[in-house]
A and B are shown apart, each in its own frame.
Chain A
Amino acid sequence: MESVKKMKLVIGGTAQGKLEYVLLKHDVQKNMVWDGVLPNDRELNGNIVIINHLHQWIKNCMVSGGCPEDEIMSFLDCNEDCIIICDEIGNGIVPIDPFEREYRERTGRILVQLAMRAEEVERIICGIGQKIK
């Protein structure tokens, strides 16, 4: 089935005002913000959903032995109408800890995949959005 592109991706460094930016720009109910978790299908009732702190979900998913790459794409197959907010965590010194290294690398690659799928990608710096797709 060909998916309708509706997902929006919002990325940027930590504490850049990404969630505030999204809430100001889009008419989304506050109770539709999911923090570091993906909602179950039945909880949505057709509302636009915001997934905040996707990187934390990725990390938790890895820790519990899941496959974040597959799980996020399966989620989007059912819930394309969403806004995903994720920290950019790859812009630093490569960590010594192997898990931290893998987490950064996989988060980066998941963002590449999500950006390809998104209808819009914005990068937030100092609360200001830069549309890069």
Chain B
Amino acid sequence: MMILVVGGSGSGKSSYAEKTAVSLAQSGMKKYYLATMQVFDDEGRKKVDRHRNLRNGKGFFTIEQPTRISGALEKMEDGDRTVLLECISNLTANEMFSEEQAVTEMQVTDNVIRDIKMLKDQTNHLIVVSNNVFEDGITYDDATTKYIQAMGKINQKLAALADRIVEVVAGIPVIFK
């Protein structure tokens, strides 16, 4: 089963996604957490620590995979697995802006979706966390606009792949599909 979890900043989407992953993984099934955030400063470190604490004791094995997310499969053991990927907004930014030349939104969309299809095919349960970055009404610079476009396309394609879509609003799950 694939579940797409979306929400805004501080919406409680991570916490919900973790609970969902834990409840889906039958006993004996390996649980992997795919972390995409690159840490550059204290604030990033604190964010990572906060998420680590949230996951603490829930039995997740963490794989740091800031780009080319399907590469995480090579780091997993064989057998049944539940995978929690957090999050599409970081992954998309990393894929788009890591190289000297920004990758186009079409290319980024194709890369991310191809990788996630691979993950989906090779996991029992896949939970993907994505962000709602679409509703602040601000006109941004060209690069950010392209990023938002890519995020929009990726979210739509993920929604088509997912068996269930949940928006987390103030910690409350609202089921869309």
The yes or no answer to B118 lying at the interface (CB within 8 A) is no
Known: A93-B133, A93-B138, A93-B144. A133 touches B172 (CB 8 A): yes
Give the A-B contact count at a CB cut-off of 8 A: 82
- Asked whether, in the complex, the Cβ of A107 is within 8 Å of the Cβ of B140, the reply is no
Chain B at the A interface: SS class: loop
A91→B172 contact, CB < 8 A:
no
The answer to whether A11 and B169 touch across the interface, beta carbons within 8 angstroms, is: yes
Whether the Cβ atoms of B133 and A92 lie closer than 8 Å is: yes
Provide the residues of chain A in CB contact with B133, threshold 8 Å: 91-94
> Number of residues in A with C-beta < 8 Å to the partner?
28
B172-A92 in contact (CB<8A) = no
State how many angstroms separate the Cβ of A20 from the closest Cβ of chain B.
Answer: 20
Q: Does B62 contact A (CB under 8 A)?
A: no
A104 x B170 contact (CB < 8 A): no
| A90, chain B: closest CB distance, angstroms | 3
**Which chain A residues border B144 with CB–CB below 8 Å?**
93
- Return the CB mask of A108-126 against B: 1 if under 8 Å, else 0: 1101101110000101000
Question: Provided the pairs A11-B169, A91-B133, A92-B136 are in contact, do residues A132 and B174 lie with their beta carbons within 8 angstroms?
Answer: yes
Instruction: Evaluate whether A90 and B43 lie within 8 angstroms (CB atoms) in the complex, with A11-B170, A132-B172 already known.
Output: no
- Interface members, chain B 103-153 (any A CB < 8 Å): 132-138, 140, 144, 147-148
| Residue A105 at the chain B interface, CB threshold 8 Å | yes
Cβ contact within 8 Å between B135 and A13: yes
Between B9, B43, B133, B140, the greatest number of chain A beta carbons within 10 A of the residue's beta carbon is seen for: B9
A45 CB, nearest partner CB in chain B, Å: 30
A83→B130 CA distance, assembly (Å): 30
A-B contacts, 7 of them at CB < 8 A, read A90-B9, A92-B137, A93-B133, A93-B136, A108-B12, A108-B170, A132-B174
Interchain CA distance A120-B122 in the complex, whole Å: 41
Question: B171 and A116: CB pair below 8 A?
Answer: yes
